[in-house]
Amino acid sequence: MRAFREAVEAHDLDAVEALLADDVVFSSPVVFKPYRGRAVTAAILRAVERVFEDFRYERAIGEADGRDHALLFTARVGDREIGGCDVLRLDASGRIAELTVMVRPLSGAQALQAAMAEQFERIAREAEAAGARSDD
């Protein structure tokens, strides 16, 4: 999905959030249970931007007008190099309904898990604040 890729590459997390369906399902590479909802998914993606260094998309897979897309990326967490893939599924209105992230190698996933665990309280606060704003 070109709009998602361009927003991520521009570090425009507000634009990324606008592309998410209200009931988006985010599947993390380091947590078994998926997260549901725009507020928590956006908060997680903001944390990922704080954690990843030297992030870049290398390749996109999928038809431009299709509902399924894969964006292959590389990044670094601390001294660990990571290869990964964002798998996106769009709903009928073109918003991201599902976002699944996969990473490798195991040492990179472990570094990512540790770094994201340090972000957990901030993610929860941001998601709660965003949820409160959307209820107004």
pLDDT surpasses 60 at 9: yes
52 CB contacts (<8 Å, ≥6 apart)? 75, 76, 77, 82
Q: In the block, which residue shows the tokens 């073109």?
A: 94
Q: CATH number, domain at 85?
A: 3.10.450.50
Helices 38-51 & 106-135, crossing angle to 10 degrees? 140
* Model confidence at 108: pLDDT above 70: yes
pLDDT for 135 equals 60
Mean pLDDT along residues 52-77: 95
Number of domains the chain contains:
1
DSSP letter at 65? T
The residue range of the domain holding 21 is: 2-135
- Which phi-psi region, left, alpha or beta, contains residue 26 (left: φ > 0; alpha: ψ -120 to 50)? beta
pLDDT at 136 over 70: no
pTM: 0.89
pLDDT tens-digit profile of 18-34? 999 999 999 999 888 99
